[in-house]
């Protein structure tokens, strides 16, 4: 059995023109579970917290203290939902890849490359056989019969080898895959964070103040 490593997320099905990959499916499941757990804890919130509410408040308090210590109390509370949301999602998304069945349960799919390689191999074999026939000098009838038998045997062996390769060239497409294993997910989170930071900076300091803040110290732009 060959080890198959797929960099891009595999497409499971389509919703109209939109392909749904295994990483996207796992992302929706993780997001749904986070929302359900948070909603259940918020509905059952009490002045004296239980175990689940206490654990949730402990994480929220830790993140709030971290953000306020970095960005200040005023700005920290404004960006706290974004930072906490991304932090919690990344943790659960990463741990979802360690669950049993993630990356191991799926369906077997035969790659199109196997058929292309087979046709390419047959073409190369035909060209090689034609070149061999041109190089050989004419022989007697007995020798020609022997050569034909040998060629037929080699062709049969080649066909059997191609059939075995095609039968073995199947890959496992998992139903579930860690969301962060897809580069599109990390790129989307990076673009979202960068956009929010720039918009918040412009809203707080204005365009000129944001540029002045980014140009501190001033000599960085003069040498770049």
- pLDDT at residue number 78: 84
With a cut of 50, which residues of the chain have pLDDT below it? Answer: 1, 113-119, 134-137, 139, 142-143, 145-146, 148, 150, 224
Could you tell me the residue ranges of all domains in the chain? 1-111+172-181, 115-168
Q: What is the pTM of this model?
A: 0.65
- Vertex 49 angle, CA 46 and 52, to 5°: 110
CA distances in angstroms from 111 to 5, 98, 126, 168, 173, listed in the order given: 13, 27, 24, 10, 11
- pLDDT at residue number 159: 57
**Ramachandran region, residue 158 (left: φ > 0; alpha: ψ -120 to 50; beta: rest):** alpha
Between the two ends of the chain, the Cα-to-Cα distance in Å is 52
Give tens-digit pLDDT for 94-120.
Answer: 999 888 888 888 888 776 644 444 445
Phi/psi at 48 (5° precision): -105, 105
- pLDDT at residue number 27: 92
- pLDDT at residue number 191: 93
- pLDDT at residue number 91: 92
């Amino acid at each position: 059995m060959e080890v198959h490593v797929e960099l891009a997320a595999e497409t499971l099905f389509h919703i109209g023109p939109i392909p749904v990959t295994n990483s996207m499916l796992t992302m929706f499941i993780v997001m749904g579970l986070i929302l359900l757990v948070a909603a259940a804890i918020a509905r059952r919130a009490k002045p004296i917290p239980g175990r689940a509410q206490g654990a949730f408040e402990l994480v929220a308090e830790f993140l709030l203290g971290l953000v306020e210590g970095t960005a200040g109390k005023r700005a920290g509370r404004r960006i706290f939902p974004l930072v906490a949301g991304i932090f919690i999602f990344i943790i659960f998304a990463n741990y979802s890849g360690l669950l049993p069945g993630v990356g191991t349960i799926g369906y077997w799919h035969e790659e199109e490359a196997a058929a292309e390689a087979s046709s390419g191999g047959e073409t190369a074999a035909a060209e090689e056989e034609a070149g061999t026939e041109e190089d050989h000098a004419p022989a007697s009838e007995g020798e020609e019969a022997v050569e034909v038998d040998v060629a037929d045997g080699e062709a049969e062996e080649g066909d059997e080898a191609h059939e075995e390769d095609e039968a073995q060239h199947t890959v496992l497409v998992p139903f579930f895959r860690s969301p962060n294993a897809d580069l599109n997910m990390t790129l989307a989170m990076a673009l979202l964070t960068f956009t929010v930071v720039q918009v918040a900076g412009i809203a707080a300091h204005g365009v000129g103040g944001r540029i002045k803040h980014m140009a501190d110290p001033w000599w960085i732009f003069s040498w770049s």
